[in-house]
Structure 1
């Protein structure tokens, strides 16, 4: 009987052994790429919000400088003695802020130029009202340019949030321009009263231009803040902003009324306009810190949200890596078991007649006999039983 040859197991190829790892790497690569992109983008957003908060700090330091400079200009134009302590203190506080965060906002050069102008103006106080008006006007232009620089370098001017954009525009651009223009308007009315009659037409043209320059940004402040309240999801913004905003709006309305020339005389009362300017500046002094505080709170909340999203992204990425690692372990273990089975020898087949040598429990092998017809005894059996039949 022919014994069939045992089956030879095929060995697993190198590609077959590496296929599970390649599959895991193919799944892990897009996960890592998505995690890296999300982490980098959220990091950029967080850095931008942190830089905007630096801009808020700088604008908060420039507000007292603006108020003190406008007051010093009014005192110089009207010929009143004025103490420079408020302006000096405000400049020192702003200088401390600039030395701390000015390099991050790239404002140190502009602040150095503005401070030099302020110190020169304080040391050489002009005696002529017209020259004082011109000299202070140049310094206030530099101050407004510094406001714009801080907003641009900090990223506030490119803020993507609707409410935060309206807040930064109001506190960093419109409100300082409104305060400076209102001070110039009141000072120009004082100067126009002492000018000769030949310059009356020029004075009226300048007053009309300055009136528009003072009222337009003030109106924009009111509109921006109401738009910020309407578009914001914060419940505290409206409650904190609307009350000082109403006060400021009423002061702006009074400024508009007292700055209009009287129909009978075509002139403006300098005393009434100066009082209206002071009320407007006082209302702005109360409103601007509120705006900056609300803006800073929105930016801080944005940073907290970005941090939470980054933690969620990190957790999801870690979970994905663990799951893929578990899958890789399963595939590698299955591949090793298959490799071990392929290396083991094949067991003998069931129809094989081969037996281990010396096994007493197995019958001995014998040669197969040819088939005989029924009733016919083989010759060997006849010879074996012949003597027994003869004896019987």
Structure 2
């Protein structure tokens, strides 16, 4: 009976040895893409928030220039001495900010134009209030355009959070426009009272247009801030903003009432209008730094959250790499053990010291047969012919 020889183990192919590495690579690629995408997205958001903080710093400097410019215009138009030191100080502070971050915000060229116009106002005489009103108006328009440029280049206009978007829109657009328009409204009312009677009708039409230009951004400002307070999760925003906002809203309501022409005469009370405009300017001066401070605080908090997110992304990536490395080590170790077992089995099969089994059914010559009587051992070739030879 023939016993089949044991089947030799087949050596693993090259593809079989590379399969664990291919599996690890297939798992590592999507994990790396996810980590890279999350890191890039978080870094972009952080860069935007940091750039917005630069815009807040620039708007803070421009707020001082706007306040000083409106006061200087009112003083020049009404024949009062101009507080030139306050205007120069505000200009120097804004120039320092522009020198520090103007290149990044692409504002240096516009600021140079605004500063040149401000320097030209230094020698403006109060003897011609009409031309002074026009000259100050041109500088105010350039200053408002610089506000818009800073908001665009810093990314404030693209802020993704609702409450901070309302805050930047209020402090960077609505409030400066309302302050400038309110100052012009009061100064134009003063000029109309000194114009000839034939020109007063045209002046009243201009006054009605300025009234809308002053009240529209002021109303939008109030709506924006209330929307920011209602939609914000911060409890400090409402507590800090609502009180100066209520004061500003009351001053705007008074400005709207005193800038409306009387029914009988069609004229406005210049003294009351000037007082209302001054009160509006003072309340706006108290409100604007509060808005900018709240906006900057929210941006700082957002940057801190994004920094924590980036550390979490790094930690998740490191953990994923360690787990995949551990899995790769297990697979490679298992493959190495399988190769060692195969080599050991092959060496036992091919060794010359291994006893060879005799599968023949006939016994050897020197081996006695199990059913043969004891006696002389016959040759295996002639044993079957012994009886025939003896008879012959």
Q: TM-score, normalised by structure 1?
A: 0.90
- 1:181–1:213 contact (8 Å) kept in structure 2: yes
- 2:124–2:132 contact (8 Å) kept in structure 1: no
- Residue matched to 2:376: 380
Alignment deviations for residues 141-200 of structure 1 (CA, whole Å, 9 cap, x no partner): 000000000000000011111100110010000000000000000000011001111112
CA distance in 1, matches of 2:365, 2:334: 47
- Residue matched to 2:206: 206
- Residue matched to 2:271: 271
- Larger displacement relative to structure 2 (95-104 or 6-15): 6-15
- 1:7–1:346 contact (8 Å) kept in structure 2: no
Instruction: Give the CA deviation at 1:377.
Output: 2.5
Residues 353/313 of structure 1: CA separation in 2 closer, same or farther (3 Å cut): closer
Instruction: Give the CA deviation at 1:368.
Output: 5.1
Q: Which runs of 5+ in 1 are unaligned?
A: 356-364, 383-392
CA RMSD of aligned residues (A): 2.1
- Residue matched to 1:127: 127
Instruction: Give the CA deviation at 1:348.
Output: 6.2
- Residue matched to 2:338: 338
Residues 199/303 of structure 1: CA separation in 2 closer, same or farther (3 Å cut): same
Do structure 1's residue 89 and structure 2's residue 89 form an aligned pair? yes
Residues 333/197 of structure 1: CA separation in 2 closer, same or farther (3 Å cut): same
- Residue matched to 1:227: 227
CA distance in 1, matches of 2:175, 2:76: 23
CA distance in 2, matches of 1:127, 1:276: 25
CA distance in 2, matches of 1:225, 1:243: 12
CA distance in 1, matches of 2:130, 2:277: 20
- 1:255–1:273 contact (8 Å) kept in structure 2: yes
CA distance in 1, matches of 2:133, 2:232: 41
CA distance in 1, matches of 2:94, 2:151: 16
- Larger displacement relative to structure 2 (31-40 or 73-82): 73-82
CA distance in 2, matches of 1:238, 1:3: 94
1:155-304 residue pairs with structure 2 within 5 A? 155-304=155-304
Residues 191/353 of structure 1: CA separation in 2 closer, same or farther (3 Å cut): closer
Which secondary structure state, in structure 1, belongs to the residue aligned with residue 182 of structure 2? helix
Do structure 1's residue 67 and structure 2's residue 67 form an aligned pair? yes
Q: Which runs of 5+ in 2 are unaligned?
A: 358-363, 379-392
- 1:74–1:183 contact (8 Å) kept in structure 2: yes
Q: TM-score, normalised by structure 2?
A: 0.90
- Residue matched to 2:382: none
Instruction: Give the CA deviation at 1:120.
Output: 1.0
- Residue matched to 1:315: 315
Instruction: Give the CA deviation at 1:75.
Output: 1.0
Instruction: Give the CA deviation at 1:212.
Output: 0.5
Instruction: Give the CA deviation at 1:123.
Output: 3.0
Which secondary structure state, in structure 2, belongs to the residue aligned with residue 312 of structure 1? helix
Instruction: Give the CA deviation at 1:9.
Output: 2.1
- Residue matched to 1:389: none
